[in-house]
């Protein structure tokens, strides 16, 4: 066992801080994971500064309930992570920064790779520099399991080679390295969190689970998907949010990358069958060639080694896949108007 291999703890206790009264910035706060993290921070007593992308049409999105409350513990700051000055202002006075803002979605990265570099790499540099200048207690930077590419060894530990199999994953690798460079060069207290496939209520239609459920709840008799053979490690969104907080309190994770995943994998084909069951519907699963990734870009297998998160921060997933799929199915059935089930979302 080398020096970097964590020793499993017999009965780990999840790392935590007293978040009461702490001012915390969440970039990408309106997003799927970001809004779940805001909910958790508010429940722990934090004062949340939500950095959101400016939208001239005034959509309040996932934070609407906070914006309607005149006594809300959430302050909204609109801007763009590509704007260094705006980011610098948003970070001022913050104890902790959770950086989730990113341009996501693999298919669109084939069409506009430069936009991914600007938002994900340059945006991360702006956030890291602002955290350094304002001497924040901790920066938690969000990565993705996509940086690993197709697994060479399983389960995938943080020592696995990084493989840029799409412009999106390449931009996230660049962002991770930019964040970690500030630890090495400037001693910025930063941790890189690598969630595997997070799912749950509020996830956008571009992800596979909402894609399947929206088709099912719209009454489709045939569910159209891309490749059915790749495997993924799915983590329910509240577990991922808990992992962010646990790692923000974990000094051993400073300057390191840490996976958040269940350690269990399921093929997309078997996942589709499980969703048919969870939804109570009946449908045939078909491959739609328009949804296939380029052959060299398809990540065939992702399953996490979560030893660091368990041993260093005492984190472990609590929501089973069956329970999480049922909860997600119920939410999508109640919010079907948000999804265009007959159109492929890139």
- Residues labelled catalytic: 168
Checking DSSP bridges between strand 231-232 and strand 266-267, what pairing results, if any? antiparallel
Report the 10 Å Cβ neighbour count for 117: 18
d(CA 211, CA 204): 9
Residue 68, Cβ density class (10 Å: 0-12 exposed, 13-18 middle, ≥19 buried):
exposed
| CB of 63 closer than 8 Å to CB of 90 | no
Report the 10 Å Cβ neighbour count for 143: 26
């Amino acid at each position: 066992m080398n020096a970097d291999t964590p020793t499993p703890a017999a009965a780990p206790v999840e790392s935590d801080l007293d978040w009461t009264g702490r001012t915390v910035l969440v970039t990408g706060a309106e997003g799927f994971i970001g809004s779940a993290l805001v909910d958790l921070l508010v429940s722990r007593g934090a004062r949340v500064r939500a950095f959101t992308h400016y939208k001239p049409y005034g959509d309040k999105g996932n934070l609407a309930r906070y914006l309607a409350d005149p006594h809300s513990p959430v302050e909204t700051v609109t801007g763009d992570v590509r704007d260094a000055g705006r980011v610098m202002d948003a970070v001022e006075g913050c104890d902790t920064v959770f950086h989730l803002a990113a341009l996501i979605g693999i298919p669109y990265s084939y069409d506009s790779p430069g936009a991914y570099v600007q938002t994900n790499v340059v945006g991360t540099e702006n956030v890291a520099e602002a955290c350094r200048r304002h001497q924040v207690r901790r920066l938690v930077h969000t990565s993705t399991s996509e940086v690993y590419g197709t697994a060479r060894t399983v389960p995938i530990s943080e020592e696995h080679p990084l493989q840029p199999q799409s412009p999106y994953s390449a931009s996230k690798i660049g962002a991770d390295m930019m964040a970690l460079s500030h630890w090495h060069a400037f001693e910025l207290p930063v941790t890189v969190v690598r969630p595997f496939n997070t799912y749950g209520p509020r996830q956008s239609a571009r992800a596979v689970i909402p894609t399947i459920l929206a088709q099912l709840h719209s009454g489709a008799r045939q569910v159209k998907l891309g490749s059915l053979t790749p495997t993924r490690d799915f983590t329910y969104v509240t577990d991922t949010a808990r992992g962010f907080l646990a790692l923000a309190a974990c000094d051993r994770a400073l300057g390191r990358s840490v996976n958040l995943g269940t350690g269990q994998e399921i093929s997309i084909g078997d996942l589709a069958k499980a969703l048919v069951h969870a939804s109570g519907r009946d449908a045939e699963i078909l491959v739609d060639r328009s949804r296939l990734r380029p052959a060299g870009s398809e990540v065939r297998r992702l399953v996490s080694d979560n030893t660091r998160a368990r041993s260093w921060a005492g984190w472990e997933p609590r929501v089973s896949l069956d329970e999480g799929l049922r909860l997600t199915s119920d939410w999508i059935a109640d919010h079907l108007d948000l999804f265009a089930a007959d159109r492929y979302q890139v």
